Chain A
Amino acid sequence: MNNVLPQGITPAVFAEAVGELKDIVGPQWVFADKTHLHAYYDYFAMRDPALHAPSAAVAPDGVEEIQKILAVARKHRIPVWAVSTGRNLAYGTAAPQKPGTIVLDLKRMKRILEVNEKHAYAVVEPGVNYFDLYNELQRRGSKLWIDCAAPGWGGVMGNLLDRGVGYTPYGEHFLSQCGMQVVLADGTVVDTAMGSQPGSKTAHNYRYGRGPWVDGMFTMSNFGVVTRLGIQLMPEPPGYRPYMITLPEEEDIEPFTELLQPLKLAMVIPNAAVTVELNLEAAIKVSRAQYYTGKGPLPESARRKMMSDLGIGKWNFYGALYGPEKIMDNNWKLIHDAFSQIKGARFYFEKDRGNEPSFMYRSKLMQGIPNLTEFSFLNWVPNGAHVGFSPMAAVNGKTALQQYRLVRDRAHEYGLDYLGEYIVGWRDMHHVFVPVFRRDDEDEKRRVYEVVTRLIREAARQGYGEYRTHLDFMDEVAGTYNWHNGALARVNQRIKDTLDPYGILAPGKSGIWPGGGRT
């Protein structure tokens, strides 16, 4: 057996609970020994992985088994942490917030329950990943596109519930959500919105139903276990043309973003496009050691050399045109005219860079083809891992430059390279800073932990909050959403304590703890 136990649970009680779980799902689907729990540890941990060590994992294959598992959890007061595929390496993988929690691994539930070609949606279970859904659509000869996160092995549901983003015009994933089934802590099964009407014919066409719309409450929360999800899909457009624009100077992010904002809002650039900083762009193809072997951030001379060698900019924008040829031609003229105002801006299409790894994988993402190429940036340093610091920003030039400078300067202060990008929505940008660190360098991991902690606080003082965070920072980030004496946190607490009085669902998720305490 693993030597980690849930808080306050004796080995005998734990063994009894594990036995009961085996009776429910079969012994082969309960993992309680060290070897098999490797997959549920945070492989990219900055601190001691024991801080988020699970005591066991259990993999059910349906709602009834989940209900029975929750009954065991209630009986013994043992918390469970639900994951769909548990593969977001930057935010904690499948590891729970509180050590000793049992991971409720839903990846066996990977049925695609429905694909509706006419109304362009699918209904999936938690274990369905982007490859699964894409492959199924291909197999059917479907004319529907998915929208996937950069790591194509991620869960369709898990990413959406964590309010992740992709890169097609359907990049804001939660906007595509339509209908959920949720199991509450007491075992109650709830279908939301139109699905709450027996025999509903519109459960995945109209997302709101009647009365309060509660679906959002089950995203990034610990109020229930989502077991089914409707996801609306994008019809394949008549044409697709990916492009890249490079900018030569760091300061170019300001005028570029200003020019970008009206084009995004008017949907001339319809997709969730990205503006990628030099180091992250380069890291897909080269390592830091190929340009600099000293300590501290990469010097400007090395960065210039990298730009020259790879033919990339200080910023590198990826967008795509969608639609009939004439519309794409017209939109491209608007885009080209706008960004040509920036001195040194260069424009590329597939014919120019189609063999470049970055262009290839970005091009796939912007048409919803899952892949895993982005992980290459982990080769920036030996034995590389990363974490995400992800403040939101308005699509505003001054904001983009200000946030970039804040994060870059702090990264440099802590001896780290800035690797990051802005993912551009209609009115918002997800600024994602991904410090890459050596897993075998304790000092570097400490510095990453410290700089992210500091950035969360500094960003909050400037009015910026993170949209998502790693396990280690969930309390810290939640603490910054504290207006009016933490009014929102108190609402969350009341919901938590009402729906889950025994505190068995994911204690600590998003900074929400049973009874309001961290114990």
Chain B
Amino acid sequence: MLTRRIFLQSTALVLTLPAGRGVRAAIPTDAARIRVISDLSCSDGRRFHRGLATPAVRVGVDEGAYLQGVAADLNRHAVDYLLGLTQNSDFILLRQSLYESGFRMIYQGQHHYEEDVIRHSFQADSPLLEELTAGLAADQRPWSRFLAETVPHWLQSRGPEDDAFITTPGRRPADSRGFLLSWAFARERTA
């Protein structure tokens, strides 16, 4: 059983838990099969991607091509967790497919640029909400870089039990549409 690391068997990827956080629940075992998706069309997505220390899958212009791959994985029951930082349009498509395949949302964050600030709103369980809001308030790095390091903890969230909000300083990067979603889904049943 793994405690501080999750071994992603299907893609041989490694996610390292950020230092300073205790393991508060059983993290999925080495049988866990996880897909991470990041949007590389904007700098926030690229920072997230780099922070993962893992070659996460990129969603390109034609989400359909990617979604077919996801659907195949879902049909083969090859995935237990799907998570990412994406545009809203990608999230909507994945969300519908995942619900149809018996997944449930365990975490969601919205990241919205307004004037000189970024408004983050989260839905998760209390420990994760506390970690995210406290971390974003204290961390000096770009928000998506920080977020990447919390990814393993998204998987431990019991579900969107509560809400939390925080505003951090920042201007919309020129290559950004100004809104991204971070999210995680876990398989609930075999369908």
Contacts and interface: CB of A to CB of B under 8 A. Distances in A.
Interface of A: 28, 35-36, 38-39, 43, 87, 89, 93, 107, 131, 135, 152-153, 286-287, 289-290, 293, 357, 360-361, 364, 370-373, 375-379, 382-385
B92 A378 contact: yes
Nearest to A381: B179
B62 A39 contact: no
Nearest to B179: A382
A379 B112 CA distance: 12
B177 A43 contact: no
Contact of A375 (B93, B104, B110, B177): B93
Given A36-B189, A39-B100, A89-B92, A373 B64 contact: yes
Contact of A383 (B88, B189, B190): B88
Interface of B: 61-65, 67-68, 87-89, 92-93, 95-97, 99-100, 102, 104, 110, 112-115, 172, 177-179, 188-191
Contact of A372 (B64, B114, B178): B64
B110 A382 contact: yes
Contacts of A135: 68
B189 A376 contact: no
A305 to B, nearest CB: 14
Contacts of B68: 131, 135
List the 9 closest pairs (A to B, CB-CB), nearest first: A287-B177, A39-B99, A372-B64, A382-B179, A371-B64, A375-B89, A289-B178, A38-B99, A39-B100
Nearest to A129: B71
B64 A153 contact: yes
Nearest to B105: A38
B157 to A, nearest CB: 15
Contacts of B89: 375-379, 384
Given A39-B100, A379-B87, A379-B177, A371 B65 contact: yes
Nearest to B181: A383
A350 to B, nearest CB: 15
From B96, B102, B188, B189, residue with most partner A Cβ within 10 Å:
B96
Nearest to B113: A289
Contacts of A383: 88, 110, 179
B96 A43 contact: yes
A508 B13 CA distance: 50
A370 B64 contact: yes
B63 A372 contact: yes
A153 B67 CA distance: 9
B20 to A, nearest CB: 32
Contacts of B64: 131, 152-153, 370-373
